[in-house]
Amino acid sequence: MTRLLIVDDSPLMRRLLSEIFAAEADFEVAVARSGAEALAQLATFKPDVITLDIHMPGMDGLACLDRIMVERPCPVVMISSLTAEGADETLEAIALGAIDFVAKPRGPVSIEIETIAPALVEKVRAASRARMSRATRLADRVRLRTSAPALGRTRTPASRGAAKPVAAGGSEGLVLVGTSTGGPAALDKLLGQLPADFPWPIVIAQHMPASFTGALARRLDKICALSIVEVARQTPLVAGTAYIGRGDADVLISRRAGALVALAAPSAPELHWHPSVDRLVASAMQYLAPERLIGVLMTGMGADGAQAMAKLAEKGGQTIAEAEESAIVWGMPGALVALGGADHVVPLDAIAARLTGLIGR
């Protein structure tokens, strides 16, 4: 039985969320009306997973999450609004240690809650099984126990060089990255380790709503040596840049006037997740030889990308699957490994070095 703590200041939301999970046989549910109540239940109820509203009076969701990750780290799924402010707050929550998020219904909650119920249950169930790093906020926990003053956390991006267009002919290539649950933090680690002069463009399919991918690109662009942009329209691909596909659409590779470009295409209705990793990889294979492609599949629920990357490996491309030891959810990379399509299985903090080595060969 999975112990779920629902934290929301709205009586209606607490009731509706409780009803959704009470209908599932594998959840034991408790509720908290505030961040303070949630912290008190960490020791009494000992939740396996938490849903946490961002906007609450008094201690808001971010402040509550911060204390959870210091006092008793456990998987947290944020309940967020589909706004620019909500996107920034949600990404801050993920940086603090949240596993995933679910967007609130845009209309009347009591009517539209059923539209998010399947995704909510799926994400909370996956989060409850997610791997929490033993090092999560370790320094902060030590400071809490020793009453030492908290230290600010800052990151200074490396200086950037001018982006260089991909050369025509045999020297061009692409890195294709797919990720879902736990992806923003994984992308922070991967992209943050790559230099500004990384020789191949990187195109990323991160499962996320459209209102979030732009905020994710801006956030990563501030902390990485690479340039990071969202693909919202036809975009030329240049070295030293990572391209994040716009949410609720699919990101595809094509050629225009002989040059490689990324396109934001309407999402394929037959596919479950968007931007689709499978569709991204399949499109790239139409315009580049397999040996000029490297596929990277990282943390995420389901199996998106596994079939296409296995085909890429079979045809001579290189594929990297994040190792189970570092993946928050080993669904997508695990599916690639199960298909026998992973040429390299490495932990998250070693993927950047493996990429650099493969391209430098």
Indicate which residues carry an active-site annotation. Answer: 180, 207, 304
- Residues belonging to the chain: 361
Q: What is the 3-class SS of the chain, one letter each residue? A: CEEEEEECCCHHHHHHHHHHHHCCCCEEEEEECCHHHHHHHHHHCCCCEEEEECCCCCCCHHHHHHHHHHHCCCCEEEEECCCHHHHHHHHHHHHHCCCEEEECCCCCHHHHHHHHHHHHHHHHHHHHCCCCCCCCCHHHHHHHHHCCCCCCCCCCCCCCCCCCECCCHHHCCEEEEEECCCHHHHHHHHHHCCCCCCCCCEEEEECCCHHHHHHHHHHHHHHCCCEEEEECCCEECECCEEEEECCCEEEEEEEECCEEEEEEEECCCCCCCCCCHHHHHHHHHCCCCHHHEEEEECCECCCCCHHHHHHHHHCCCEEEEECCCCCCCEHHHHHHHHCCCCCEEECHHHHHHHHHHHHCC
Please, which residues bridge with residue 234 across strands? none
Q: Distance between CA 10 and CA 321 in Å, rounded?
A: 41
- Other beta carbons less than 10 A from residue 266's beta carbon: 9
CB 178, CB 208: distance < 8 Å = no
**How far apart, in whole angstroms, are the C-alpha atoms of residue 56 and residue 38?**
12
Which pairs from 217-222 meet CB under 8 Å and 24+ separation? 217/244, 219/88, 219/91, 220/187, 220/188, 220/191, 220/244, 222/157
